[in-house]
Structure 1
C-alpha cells in the first residue's frame, strides 16, 4: 500500500533509493473522527501524510477553538513550528473523519536527510507549500470580504464545506456563525 501513496507524484529529482528509504520509515495510522494527531503543549514528533480523510489544525484562546487550517488527502500536516523547533506546540491537529495517515518521525526524517541529501529538496518543497498556504491565509483573512473568503474556500477546498462543522468553517474564515449563515443563504 505504501508504494502507491502518490507522495512523490509532483516532485522530481529524488532518487528511487531515497523515496524507498522515506517510505520505509512511514508508519500507518488508522484514525477515527476526532483523533488527535498532535496535541497542544506537546512537542510535535511527526510529519503526517493524509492518504485518506481530512484533518484540521486549531488552537484554543479564551475557551474558544480557532481553526487555523484544514488538510485533505494528498497533503502533509504537522504543527510545523513545534516540529522544526522541537518546542511545545500551541496547536492541536485532529481528524475530521475516519482517516488513514502515514507518519514519519522527526528523527527518521533527519536520518533520511543524512543518508539521501536529495530528500532535503522534497522537504523544502513541502515547506514552501506550507509557507505559501500560510501567506495566502493571512492575506485571505486580512484583505478579503467575508463573502469572498467563503467563495474562495468553496472554490479551492470544496470538500471542507462537507467535512467540517459550520463553527469550524466560520472560525477558519474569521467570522461568526451568524455571518457565515447569512452568506450561505445568499449563495
Structure 2
C-alpha cells in the first residue's frame, strides 16, 4: 500500500518539478501510511502540529471554536490534497484549529522534522514546497474574498462547482458553518438551486 500512496504523491510533486531518485527514496523512507477511522481527530486545538498529511483516500475538515464555543468549519480537504494546520505546523506552536476525518481515510504522513531535512538536502524540494504553499495561500485568499464579497447563494454555488460530491461527504451543518451561514439558510438556498 505504501508504494502505491508514495507513487501518487511523487507524481503530484513531479507535476511541479522533477524529483531525483534520491529524493524519491528519502520521501519513501521518511513517510508512513496511516489508516484513520471516520471522526478521528488528527490534531486538537492547543496541540502542536507535528505532521503534514497527504490524503490518498477519504476526506477531512479543519475547524475552530468561536468565542461562544461554537464549532466553525474552516476547510474541507479531499483526495490528492495536503492536510495541515499551516500556522501550527510551520511555527511549531499550539494550533487554534482542529483537524478531523469526515470519512475513513488513508493518509501519507511526513513529520515536520523530516520535511525540514528534505528541504535542507534537496533544493528542488524547496521549490515544490513554495509552489504548494502559494497554492494553499491562494485558496485561503479566495475563501476570505468569497466570504467578504459573495452572497450566501454564490458561496454555495462556488463550493458545489469545486466539490460537487460534498453534499454526500459532509454534513449540512459543517457545510453551513464553512459558508458562514446557518443551516436554515443553507436549506433555503438548496431548495432554490
Query: So what's the TM-score if we normalise by structure 1?
Result: 0.96
Q: How much does 1:101 deviate?
A: 0.7
Question: Matched residues in 2 for 1:17 and 1:70: separation?
Answer: 33
Deviations 1:121-168 (A, max 9, x none): 111121111101100100111100111100110000122221111110
Question: Matched residues in 2 for 1:19 and 1:121: separation?
Answer: 15
The counterpart of 1:36, out of the listed 38, 41, 49, is 41
Q: How much does 1:3 deviate?
A: 3.5
Residue 71 of structure 2: aligned partner: 65
The counterpart of 2:101, out of the listed 65, 84, 95, is 95
Query: So what's the TM-score if we normalise by structure 2?
Result: 0.93
Between Structure 1 and Structure 2, how many residues are aligned? 187
Q: How much does 1:4 deviate?
A: 3.1
Is the CA contact 1:18–1:118 (under 8 Å) kept in the aligned structure 2?
Answer: no
Question: Matched residues in 2 for 1:2 and 1:32: separation?
Answer: 18
SS at match of 2:10: coil
Q: How much does 1:25 deviate?
A: 1.1
Structure 1: gaps of 5 or more residues: none
Moved over 4 A (4+): none
Residue 112 of structure 1: aligned partner: 118
Is the CA contact 2:37–2:103 (under 8 Å) kept in the aligned structure 1?
Answer: yes
2:147 aligned with 1:145, yes or no?
no
2:16 aligned with 1:14, yes or no?
no
Is the CA contact 1:50–1:100 (under 8 Å) kept in the aligned structure 2?
Answer: yes
2:185 aligned with 1:179, yes or no?
yes
Is the CA contact 2:2–2:32 (under 8 Å) kept in the aligned structure 1?
Answer: no
Question: Matched residues in 2 for 1:169 and 1:178: separation?
Answer: 12
SS at match of 1:12: coil
Q: How much does 1:22 deviate?
A: 1.4
Deviations 1:2-32 (A, max 9, x none): 3333213322232232122112211111111
Question: Matched residues in 1 for 2:25 and 2:2: separation?
Answer: 10
Residue 4 of structure 2: aligned partner: 4
Q: How much does 1:116 deviate?
A: 1.5
Is the CA contact 2:45–2:94 (under 8 Å) kept in the aligned structure 1?
Answer: yes
Is the CA contact 2:43–2:49 (under 8 Å) kept in the aligned structure 1?
Answer: yes
